[in-house]
A and B are shown apart, each in its own frame.
Chain A
Amino acid sequence: MNVWFRAIISLVSSCLLLLVGTNNAFGQKVYDLHLLISDSLTNTPLYGATITLYKHNHLHIADEQGRVYIDSVPAGKALLHVTYVGYHHHDLLLDMPQNGTVEVLLCPESFHLHESVISAEGNVFAFSARRRDLMNAEEIQRKQGQNVSDLLKSMNGVTAMTSAGGIAKPVVRGLSGMRLVTLQGNSRMDGQQWGNDHGPELDPFQTNGIVLIKGAAAVEYGPEAIGGVIQIMPKPYLTEEGLKGSIQAQGQSDSKQAASSLLLEGRKGIEKFVAWRAQASGRIAGDAHAPNYNLSNSGFRENAQSLSVLLGGKHWAWENSLTRYASVLGIFAGAHVGNMQDLNTAIAAPQPLIIRPFTYQIGKPYQEVQHILFSSELKWQLNAKSKLRFLFTQQVNRRKEYDAEMVYNQALRGLPAMDMEIQSFSTEQYYEQKLAHHWSYKLGATQTLQRNAVAGLNFIIPAFNSLSAGAFGLLKKEWLHANISFGIRCDVRQLDVPTYKRLNKNYEYSRFFFGTNAGLTYNYDFGKKWVASASVQTGWRPPAVNELYSYGLHYGLASFEIGDSLLQPERSVQLEINMSKQLNNWHFSGSFFRQKFSGFIYRNPLSDPILTIRGAFPAFIFTQADALLTGTEFSLSYAPKLAWQWQSRFSYLRANNIGLNQPLFGMPANRMDHTLGYIFADFAKLMGAYIECQSVWVARQNRFVANLDYVDPPPAYVLFHANIGTSFKPFKKGEPWKLHLSAQNLFNNSYRDYQSRFRYFTDDPGFNFIFRLQIPF
């Protein structure tokens, strides 16, 4: 873990360098720093603990007495990162010069009950530590957009599937929806993820850290984690007594969007304690604007509240939290088509057929979504080597979609076209233990009950009940320069669709699924800051309800979708290799992956359109074929002591349907981005001021099947963004305020992204100025 963790440190160090603005001008005074690293419980010195000083990019190792001596540390703030195998890492911000020796206490992984995990490390047990990418709180504040997918997009290999306006779904290495698991804290979010226009129900303001779990670490999360796990981390609780809070405000020019959030948190007691956190936020956005016209009815509104309370004692911690997210999202008016002929007319037009003046009003069609999640988690330390964790999660997701269609029957007017409510209850149990010689293991079991109810005028999926249960075991062995982990998990799922009537015929289904997934990861540190890891894992996913039982028209994109109730689970085998190297101020990291699916479920077009009273519609049937996804991602950064910074990233994906020997539909195009930044020395009241310019190049998706889609993929495009930000103290007392300004699509270029669902009808949004202010108190 230590090894990989160092890789992560170096990976994010370039970002952190941008964040921690400190004095680093030449000719500055330098000081010595003495540290003592020891175990927080026994005070035993930790021989071999590693200390990274971000500004230096130098690694230091503690001696037998746990002592470390670092020379020539410049005056001002110094950020240290201390790690040791089997212990939680510790970040520490020191004001230089420091007198005497600074004591650093590390908590053993197996003992300390962490109330909440900080983004950097992820889960306490960190099974394989095969974390590909992560974002910390600072980075999130700088990059916060209108939804969580905006944040995720800034990770290499992650893109977003958008639907003009507020809807964006994350896509990780070409996989999305039912192939990704989203965790809010430790609770798995269950909604209607199968819909391409169903974004995750998450408030960006409640996001304090994002961890993307790929590779063998995802084994723990069961069937749907076949494409990875996105973990949204909440803000950690206060560690000191008191009452604190912050106000965040955000504005965006493109959709004349305003958002704000209020956070209050408090803590009473240190050994035995009550800590709590309450947050409320709201957001209102009008129509988005493409460079040449307004995107009518793309406005949205959302509000979210959350409350978490943590009760803790010496050997236990009990957390209860409740979050609610509600939104109303307009569906772009220009995309509404009644049949194939309307669709062809709309596609042939150079701009949307419906362009109305800007408004905050949301008309039909629109979506109304509410997600409420309650979780209760108990962590219990049995002894120094073992602990138990129980988690109960209950959630309800209500989604109503209103069509622009007007019905003729007066009694049915005003009803949503689609109305679904999914309730999920899940219980999870975990036990972890540390053994001698750096062996450790973790056992767990999960049980989930889901009930989906449908109402509304049309329905795409039927009501269903599903009961799932799974059990897993993880085993890990650590050496000084390497570690190996192995995990295996088995799941069963019973899916029942009670009798329903579709067009005067009764249908009833019952399916049982069983599957196993396993993963093996090996990390090795070659020394000289060469770190590499390799992992092999298998995954599976039972077909989703829409893939099994859809039958009907989707007016939004004028298509007729037909499910296949006999689909079998899809399975995959994946190999991934990662490496990173740090040389002075240069940092390089690269990863390569290859994922082979057997029975990959996808929408296959039928040769003849389906004739209906509305006219002819192209028809698609869900079917299975073998598929192969191969890709690579690279990043190279230069983060010297001097204030200029540089980062370049590149990602490539090739996805093939092996059965038909043709490219898979809708896969993200290759892309690269370059960022040039400058960090200013502190002056007057400004701290950590930075400025950066970024260019993003997205290639044309040249891998497509001719005449399969309504139009060919749009051309490549380049966008330029600029960011500037600083912390400042408007008052002598209190914490510094943070201000971040961004300009996106600086030159107001017109472009269409291949993953925008409305690219058939409209350009993507143009120039956007974003203002973000955080006021802690």
Chain B
Amino acid sequence: MKKHNISNIFFLLAIASLFIFNACKKQEDDHANQDHDNELITTVRFQFVDSISLDTFRYAWSQPGGPGSAVSIDTIALKANRVYLATVDLLDESKNPIVSVSEEIAADANNHRFVYTTTLAGTQIQILDFDQQVPAMELGLKFRLIVANSGSGNFTCSLRHYTNLDPKTGGIIAGSNDIEVSLPLAIN
């Protein structure tokens, strides 16, 4: 009986030791901080092309030092009674070379949606690109900005992010915000 009991214990100990060694294997050897070369979006850059003059204007919202650091915000200066073809690009300018994630967004279009709003009356926004869903929904990497009146206001861009459990078909209220930036708008 005693022998039996003790061999039981060793068997249980052997099983238990599996847990410990398993656990050890997973441990990282160096306990220093890893270099956090992680994803960061520092900049939202807009490009506006005047449909008559074909002049190109670039404006950006950027925070090169990451969240909590200084912010630089351009004023979007455009002309009244014009139509602009616009594109948006999301960049990580803290890396060298600069990384753009716009392609990834295009590739995962079914889970993303840019939403643009302005506070200046008479300004219209039309989204020009769509995702691969049936029926297709707006994506918003490309859009048309129609400016009627002169004046000043704000231009806001937000990027909604959806998941399979919280899909894009749920509308703007679903998903969560990956990006939300606001730039002053000056039309003359």
Q: Tell me the A residues contacting B by CB distance below 8 Å.
A: 243, 266, 268-269, 274, 276, 278, 297, 305, 307, 309, 322, 324, 333, 336-339, 341-342, 345, 353-354, 356, 363-364, 370, 372, 374, 396, 398, 404-410, 412, 421, 423, 451-455, 457-459, 462-463, 465, 497-504, 551-553, 560, 562, 610-615
Interface residue B134 (Cβ < 8 Å from any Cβ of A): no
Subset of 7 A-B contacts with CB under 8 Å: A353-B174, A363-B163, A453-B27, A501-B36, A504-B94, A613-B67, A614-B177
How many angstroms between the C-alpha atoms of A74 and B101 in the bound complex?
A: 81
CA distance A455 to B36 in the complex (A): 8
Q: B161 contacts the other chain (Cβ, under 8 Å)?
A: yes
- Chain A residues lying within 8 Å of B180, measured Cβ to Cβ, are 338-339, 341, 613-615
A498 to B13, CA, bound (A): 37
Contact A560:B31 (CB < 8 A) given known A307-B12, A338-B176, A613-B181: no
For A553, the chain B residues whose CB sits under 8 A away are: 67
* Segment touching A, from B1-9, B48-56, B121-129, B138-146: B1-9
A563–B173 Cα distance when bound, in Å, is 33
Say yes or no: A501 contacts B35, CB within 8 Å.
Answer: yes
Main secondary structure of the interface of A (DSSP, over half): strand
B151-182, CB < 8 A from A: 158, 161, 163, 165-166, 173-181
Would you call B177 and A342 a contact (CB within 8 A)? yes
18 more CB-based (< 8 A) A-B contacts, given A353-B173, A372-B20, A612-B67: A268-B2, A268-B6, A324-B23, A336-B176, A337-B176, A338-B175, A341-B158, A363-B163, A363-B165, A396-B23, A451-B31, A452-B31, A459-B36, A501-B36, A560-B67, A612-B68, A614-B67, A614-B177
B179: contacting residue among A322, A453, A614, CB under 8 A: A614
Q: Knowing A333-B165, A396-B27, A613-B61 are in contact, say whether A338-B178 is a contact too (CB < 8 A).
A: yes
Contact between B44 and A457, CB atoms less than 8 A apart: no
A502 and B36 within 8 A (CB): yes
Contact with A along B36-47 (1 / 0, CB 8 A): 101111111000
Residues of B within 8 Å of A, CB-based: how many? 60
Q: A500 vs B38: C-alpha distance in the bound complex, in angstroms? A: 13
Instruction: Tell me, rounded to whole Å, the shortest Cβ–Cβ distance linking A504 to chain B.
Output: 6
Are A453 and B67 neighbours in the complex by a CB distance under 8 Å?
Answer: no
Tell me, in angstroms, the Cα distance from A502 to B40 when the chains sit together.
Answer: 11
Q: Are B23 and A370 in contact (CB under 8 A)?
A: yes
| A503 / chain B contacts, CB cutoff of 8 Å | 40, 65-66, 69, 94
Asked if residues A307 and B16 are in contact (CB atoms below 8 Å), the reply is yes
Binding site for A on B (CB under 8 A): 1-2, 5-6, 8-9, 12-13, 15-16, 19-20, 23, 26-28, 30-36, 38-44, 61, 63, 65-69, 71, 90, 94, 99, 101, 104-105, 108, 111, 158, 161, 163, 165-166, 173-181
A-B contact count (CB 8 A): 167
Instruction: Count chain A CB atoms within 10 A of each CB in B6, B16, B180 and give the residue with the most.
Output: B16
- Residues in A neighbouring B94, C-beta threshold 8 A: 503-504
Q: By the criterion CB–CB under 8 Å, are B161 and A405 in contact?
A: yes
Chain B residues within an 8 Å CB radius of A455: 28, 34
Q: What residues on B are CB-neighbors of A322 within 8 Å?
A: 16, 19-20
Residues A406 and B176 in contact, CB atoms below 8 Å apart:
no
Cβ contact within 8 Å between A457 and B39 = yes
* Bound form: Cα–Cα A192–B40 in Å: 26
